Structure 1
Amino acid sequence: MQPLNFDVPIDIDQFGLTSEQLIGTREREVIRRFWDKKRQAVLDLGIDFFQPFTREHQKFLLSTEHEGALLGGNSSAKSWTAAAKFTAIMIGRHPTIKHRTPCAGWVACEDFSLTKDGPLKALLTLGTQYIAEFNQHDKIIKYKNGSEAQLKSFESGWKKFQSAAIDVVWLDEEPPEDIYKECQMRTMRTSGYIFTSMTPLEGMTYMYDQIFGDENEKKYIDAYIISLFDNFTLKEEDIERTIRNYSSQEKDARIYGKFTQMTGLVYPEFRKGKHTIPRFKLSGDYVVFTGIDPHTTTPTAVVFLAVGKLGDEYVIGEMFLEGSIEEMSAEIKKGWLGLRTGWSVMDSSAQTEIKIFGKDIYSGFCLNGINALLAPKGPGSIGKGISDIRERLKPTKLTGKPKLRIFDDCTMTIKSMQTLTREKYRDESRQGQKDKVAEGRHHHHAALRYIYQVGPYYFEPMTAPDELPPMDDAVGY
């Protein structure tokens, strides 16, 4: 079959203006009408009629690098462009990537609801003439040439990304670092491809280092940047209305697809290297506390915190569990093996609001041997947990190092510490700062916070005496 045509039909360089500078010009309206017709052809007939808006879109499409990224503002056509690249590889019609077919592919984003509304719609539309079947139950797209694409979600956790060799992976929005590493492993054996389409809303994360270079100036991901203005199907009045709703802090990311240091971070002092540490074997006298953030529709987050005799504290493990309460309880108990455990603590909503088959999830865990405390709930309770964590991020006078550090393979907890923000009022210059945390999907932070809301502490191990004293004839022991 002939390679697809990914030429740019209208090169705006001929006008001597950027896509943003074209706003308000007659040329921009002519371009928009052309792309309206082009868009309808793609919706009706699929990828054979797909072409990129700009040279930057095209460079991403044609890149043969094995790891790539398309950074874009909202509505910049980044997802549709990534879907076109994925589809072209899967059907064996990519102009520059000559990978064997049939292919095994993955498409993943934050959760399945987003997959349905975003990536899935693009894939089914572009592949309309090449798809044999979409199995909704198993979330698999089967192509006529034998290629198969499995839909996955970041919320399912990194273990769901352990599998056989994969040829091509498309990640829609930035995944947790451990999931990205799993995808690297899956494509290594096939000399396959990973590419990410994303609006960089999480601040300077690991993805920034991978794209623009770490402290050693080594770059790993081939990246291209597009803006909201590069989508020529958008009407100017819609663009203007959208931009008005963005704060000055959001504009770089949401309009121009640029990484920016987010304001309103809950832990602005947190730094990888300073607050993280390579995994080491703990001595047996550490006490390990367990925080649990239970859910029914998303996985249950678990964090293990070890407290030492000298007051040093380490997040030594994390879990993101799915399955029945019995199965999740068994996994938590496995995490305790070989450790000296203290108490466990759980979201207080687990006793009243989170129910399975009419019964609260808290009772279910207790019946399966996870006898947890309930985290305090009420005014100031969240603030106390966060305040205690922040206090422990400060260097101690004794060692000059933070009291709390996180094992560097606890990537979900680390990401939450790096990116968790507080909620904001629209006009904070007038209303001041909003005292509420946008914890949302930061489930592992919630689990850690519950531990500090109760207050972890070191206690000496209890040992039985070598021999009992003689029994008193009158009172016994």
Structure 2
Amino acid sequence: MSSDISLGGLQRRALGLARELARRRGRDRLSAYRPYAKQREFHDAGAEHRERLFMAGNQLGKTVAGSFEIAMHLTGRYPGWWRGRRFDAPGRYWVAGETRISTRDTVQKLLLGDPERPEAWGTGAIPGAAIRTTHRASGVANAIDTLTVAHVAGGASTLLFKAYEQGRAKWQGDTLNGIWFDEEPPLDIYVEGLTRTNATGGFAMLTFTPLKGMSEVVRMFLEEA
């Protein structure tokens, strides 16, 4: 009888440990990120190019690559295989999509976790233990406006969520270390966002499927390639 009880106790303990390990891994997905070749090429290009475009079809890992790169810059946690741009101190960054809702449902979800479940925030690309503060946006349910993230060098990085629909005027007046455009921006919005990085020599990266054909933004990158 005692052997059965002991065995049952060990099994329950092992199950509990397995669940805790899974929980911790779920809140530190950054440590497990391993890019495939195209994603790796995109990351590596950041070491030499301020402006980068990852243009590919749907469901090919563009936004995933963008989210994990932003998480690295926010935290200063770069893996051994990293050959891209590095920031050794906390910085200020923007991420943006077409609308505030689409930004919440794609970029925010990948960076933080399910927008509708605040208890899941910390299960995205940004490690849960590194998230210091989150400030909700007004007018859009479960959307985040600003968050701060602990950097390994000390202090905290700041991340703001933006949308192209806000118009160019809402994109002025800030100084950034980097900006990530998920989905193709209008040219004036792209130029304004890039301008925010000029003083720091920061970066602008874009991830999108070219649904607008040979637009001004697409043409600009193809002509420079």
Report the TM range for the smaller structure's normalisation. Answer: 0.7 to 0.9
Native 8 Å contact 1:43 1:126 kept in 2:
no
Equivalent residue number for residue 270 of structure 1: none
- Count how many residue pairs are aligned between Structure 1 and Structure 2: 175
Residue 210, structure 1, aligned to residue 220, structure 2: yes
Equivalent residue number for residue 130 of structure 2: 130
TM-score (norm 2): 0.73
| One of 147, 152, 177 as aligned partner of 1:141 | 147
Q: Which has the higher contact order (CA 8 A, sep 6+)?
A: 2
Secondary structure in structure 1 of the residue aligned to 2:53: strand
Native 8 Å contact 2:177 2:203 kept in 1:
yes
> C-alpha deviations, 1:252-305, integer Å up to 9, x for none?
xxxxxxxxxxxxxxxxxxxxxxxxxxxxxxxxxxxxxxxxxxxxxxxxxxxxxx
Equivalent residue number for residue 48 of structure 1: 31
Q: Residues of 2 paired with 1:106 and 1:193: CA distance?
A: 11
Secondary structure in structure 1 of the residue aligned to 2:58: coil
Equivalent residue number for residue 79 of structure 1: 63
> C-alpha deviations, 1:66-104, integer Å up to 9, x for none?
100111211112111111111111211243322242110
Letter in 2 for 1:81: A
Equivalent residue number for residue 112 of structure 1: 100
Q: How much does 1:43 deviate?
A: 4.3
Secondary structure in structure 2 of the residue aligned to 1:118: helix
Equivalent residue number for residue 119 of structure 2: none
Distance 1:58 1:42, change over 3 A: farther
Letter in 2 for 1:45: D
> C-alpha deviations, 1:35-72, integer Å up to 9, x for none?
xxxxx9974432111111x2111111222211001112
Equivalent residue number for residue 68 of structure 1: 52
Q: Residues of 2 paired with 1:203 and 1:140: CA distance?
A: 33
The 5 Å alignment of 1:131-170 reads: 131-137=131-137, 139-145=145-151, 146-170=156-180
> Where do 4+ consecutive residues of structure 1 move more than 4 Å?
40-44
Native 8 Å contact 1:131 1:144 kept in 2:
yes
Residue 89, structure 1, aligned to residue 73, structure 2: yes
Native 8 Å contact 1:46 1:129 kept in 2:
no
Q: Residues of 2 paired with 1:44 and 1:87: CA distance?
A: 13
Q: Residues of 2 paired with 1:200 and 1:86: CA distance?
A: 22
TM-score (norm 1): 0.35
Q: Which runs of 5+ in 1 are unaligned?
A: 1-39, 214-218, 223-477
Equivalent residue number for residue 3 of structure 2: none
Native 8 Å contact 2:98 2:165 kept in 1:
yes
Over aligned residue pairs, what C-alpha RMSD do you find? 1.8
Distance 1:41 1:206, change over 3 A: farther
Q: Which runs of 5+ in 2 are unaligned?
A: 1-22, 113-123, 138-143
Distance 1:159 1:49, change over 3 A: same
Native 8 Å contact 2:97 2:103 kept in 1:
yes
> C-alpha deviations, 1:367-389, integer Å up to 9, x for none?
xxxxxxxxxxxxxxxxxxxxxxx
Secondary structure in structure 2 of the residue aligned to 1:61: helix
Distance 1:42 1:174, change over 3 A: farther
Q: Residues of 2 paired with 1:56 and 1:102: CA distance?
A: 28
Equivalent residue number for residue 190 of structure 1: 200
Distance 1:120 1:161, change over 3 A: same
**Structure richer in helix, relative to its length:** 2
Native 8 Å contact 2:27 2:129 kept in 1:
no
Letter in 1 for 2:106: G
Native 8 Å contact 1:111 1:154 kept in 2:
yes
Q: How much does 1:165 deviate?
A: 1.2
Native 8 Å contact 1:68 1:196 kept in 2:
yes
Q: Residues of 2 paired with 1:174 and 1:197: CA distance?
A: 7
